[in-house]
Structure 1
Amino acid sequence: MAIKSLVTGGAGFIGSNLALTLEKLGHEVVVVDNFQFADRTNLKEFKGEVISLDVSTSYSFSSSFDIIFHQAAITDPRYPNDEETFNKNIEGFKQMVSLADRSKAKLVYASTAGLYGNGPVPMKEEQEKQILTTYGRSKLEMDEMAFSLFSKRHIVGLRYFNVFGPGEAHKGRPASMIYHLYQQMKSGKRPRIFNWGEQIRDFIYVKDIVTANLKAVDAPSGVYNVATGVGTSFNRLVKTLNEVMNTKLDPEYFEMPYDVKTYQANTQGDPTLAEQKMGFKSEWKLKEAIQDYLEWLYKK
């Protein structure tokens, strides 16, 4: 009998990649999305049921699930309505915890590296948190709720670092730096990055994120970083893009428009705990991942 999986936010960036992979693996997949921050074309190859629903509201599903992959959230840290971000993210999580309880399902949910703020690197799960945004605060609240439930049910939280890859274009401004720089450079424009390009990100390919979700199903309850452990500066990223695209475009530096108090300068993660407890290790090196991603973009 097929494993029945629910993917919330399943028409979004990570959710759609996950839903399509689960279906290929033989799962019976149900996707839920309110389509506020999603793209229906991400699901054009998906054959399962799609329910238009805001998961922060109560809903009676017609059947139970074996696994719930909760990806739905307002993820833009600069979304203009802080109250909506916090309330919808928390209520959505509570609804999924309740559904997991009723279904006796395993629950895997998306957390974020954003809650580390500008703390020491490489960032470890247990280090002191520095909340810079309402989005980060909502995810920390979810993690703390999960901690209180570990002894009662199977819950795994995944703190994603800087994810990029197919299916993110609809996000607009919050899409990855890699996506935006590619769009500029393919038009022959110089890639625009903040002064002086020394900001660092732990870029992780969405295919690794999908693998981490699959590994989480059989991992012990906990909250784990999903990172490569490699920090890449914006200057280095431009160099890598030039190499992959066979271009020679120098960066165009400009003053960062965001308040430095709410901007993460370095997000390099420590993946050790995920390797030890989940058996997850990033398989994609940055250059190879960018090559794979651009090949996909070229076909679009």
Structure 2
Amino acid sequence: MTIDLPARVQLRSARVPADGIFEGPRVLRRLPEGVDEKPYELFGLNPLGAVLGAEIEGVDLADPLSPELRAELNRALLEWKVLFFRDQRITPAQQRAFAANWGPLETNPFIPKGDTDEVTRFARSASMPGFENIWHTDVTFRPNPALGSVLRLLQVPPQGGDTMWADMAAAYDNLPADVRQRIDGLRAVHDFIPGFDRFSDLDVLAGWQEQFPPVEHPVVRIHPETGRRTLFVNQAFTTHIVGLDRAESDRLLRLLFTQAHVPEFQVRFQWRENSVAFWDNRATQHYAVNDYHPHARVAERVAIAGDRPY
């Protein structure tokens, strides 16, 4: 039996791709609706991607920020989602002081510490490989996930070790209308265990279950400052969607997880020693490329406490 052309076209248009990525033109809207492009007066800005990622020039993170500079950097963070600073020879205390301009700092009990509890240290080598090569948003297992993070590279491998970020507002914008309609209003469960059971002792994980029980967050969160709808599920910590049976939840999550893989929504940063990245954890996912072993890669991160997603 043959299928007439209109029916075949209808079947083709209704098909969800096996890899979850829909081909065709992308809507690459960097700024929120109604926001116009404005120049930056207090620093230079060099865009690295279409929707996110920009290098900032002329700012020394060792110096205290004036209210005017802090406000303009915050506008750049909201508009570009991840900011990069080169040649920043700062101390951990100066890194913490810079991050504290955006709010109280949080701690992470699962990652080794730097000079204080607020600094987490990622020291990767042949004997201690990294497990951050998965698209994720930091600490969504908390009721109030981090607002953002400031990451500084202390030791860079001779090649490799890049980090990638994906704009999850662009990912939401480019979902088919029926998928957006389906997920608006849904909630999903986030749990720390899937993200840490790969390299933590199960007895240690069990000891943290009372302090970090699973939490629910909206599948699509509203960014508290820009108002944009942002896809807010990630492969590291999101376990299932509330109200759906497991098979349907798994199918839908696989589709949503895959949207971070679209190159048009991404920026890739090549580190140099003393480079710093500052990203909006409410709007992005990131992925640490694990292609540098057996060489060492050492980084320290400070995270800023966030608010409850809505």
Q: Taking structure 1 as the reference length, what is the TM-score of the superposition?
A: 0.26
Going by fraction, where is helix more abundant, 1 or 2? 1
* Bigger Rg, structure 1 or 2: 2
Structure that is richer in strand per residue: 2
TM-score (norm 2): 0.25
